[in-house]
Amino acid sequence: DVKVTQSSRYLVKRTGEKVFLECVQDMDHENMFWYRQDPGLGLRLIYFSYDVKMKEKGDIPEGYSVSREKKERFSLILESASTNQTSMYLCASSLSPRDRVAEQYFGPGTRLTVT
Amino acid sequence: RKEVEQDPGPFNVPEGATVAFNCTYSNSASQSFFWYRQDCRKEPKLLMSVYSSGNEDGRFTAQLNRASQYISLLIRDSKLSDSATYLCVVRGTKTSYDKVIFGPGTSLSVIP
């Protein structure tokens, strides 16, 4: 079974803090993704990575950065947290070449509240 | 217009009922289509892919209508355990990467 784990289920941070969200997958997947999920808006892609040290912006990258130093780990960084970044953050991974999409396996999510 | 739209519901149906969800997409060049299921406070999981010829998996039937740019999910003989949010997922085309777009989801409650 594919397993995608995220470092925290719930996180509360103050405005202006730097926040690190960690994601680890154990199936040697090339692709990893970070989404945020908000009511009525669905999942929106923040960043994704097709390989180690490779990253590409998704639809809403502003205010976020990512790091992929090892294949199994993909980190999302909020440089200076703001209240509008309060959301559910979901990490996903998939095994696919670039020209084909395969099933995405999601982690359990991190509910981040910025006060 | 949003790229992928779904009726948010909620759909409240009795056990044993048949229920259908539609999802419309705006990019006519979209290549692949999927339905994911998300239980309350859980992560999304793939329910089924949607093929051009339509496909069935037990009580679930998925259909694609490219001309009208929508996909559908039909659930027959609803069970209490079918209660969840159903996410329509569309893979579009873009020059630099595969763009996978999730719809906002349709909420289903199956009631005894």
Q: What is the pLDDT of residues A70-98, one digit of tens each?
A: 999 999 999 999 999 999 999 999 886 55
Whether A99 has a pLDDT exceeding 70, the answer reads no
Residue of A nearest to B49 (CA): A103
Q: State whether A101 and B100 contact (CB < 8 Å).
A: yes
Q: Give me the torsion for CA of B1, B2, B4, B7, rounded to 10°.
A: -80
Q: State whether A42 and B103 contact (CB < 8 Å).
A: yes
On chain B, the residues whose CB falls within 8 A of the CB of A42 are 4, 87, 102-105
For chain B, what percent of residues have pLDDT higher than 70? Answer: 93
What is residue A101's predicted lDDT score, i.e. its pLDDT?
A: 57
Tens of pLDDT, residue by residue over A36-75, are 999 888 899 999 998 898 898 988 999 999 999 999 999 9
Task: Put residue B31 in one of left, alpha, beta given phi > 0 → left and psi -120 to 50 → alpha.
Answer: alpha
What is residue B62's predicted lDDT score, i.e. its pLDDT?
A: 96
Residue A38 to chain B, least CA–CA distance (Å): 9
Nearest to B22 by CA among B83, B88, B67: B88
Q: Of B43, B102, B105, which has the smallest distance from its Cβ to A107's Cβ?
A: B43
Q: State whether A43 and B102 contact (CB < 8 Å).
A: yes
What is residue B30's predicted lDDT score, i.e. its pLDDT?
A: 84
Is the Cβ–Cβ distance between A74 and A49 less than 8 Å? yes
Residue A14 to chain B, least CA–CA distance (Å): 24
Whether A102 has a pLDDT exceeding 70, the answer reads no
Distance, CA of A74 to CA of A64 (rounded, Å): 13
The answer, yes or no, to whether the previous bond of B10 is cis (omega within 30 of 0) is yes
What is residue B96's predicted lDDT score, i.e. its pLDDT?
A: 42
Q: Which residues contact A37 (CB under 8 A, 6 or more apart)?
A: A43, A44, A87, A88, A89, A90, A109
Q: State whether A101 and B103 contact (CB < 8 Å).
A: no
Is the Cβ–Cβ distance between B64 and B33 less than 8 Å? yes
The answer to whether residue B42 neighbours chain A at the CB level (below 8 Å) is yes
What is residue A94's predicted lDDT score, i.e. its pLDDT?
A: 87
Residue range B72-96: mean pLDDT, rounded = 87
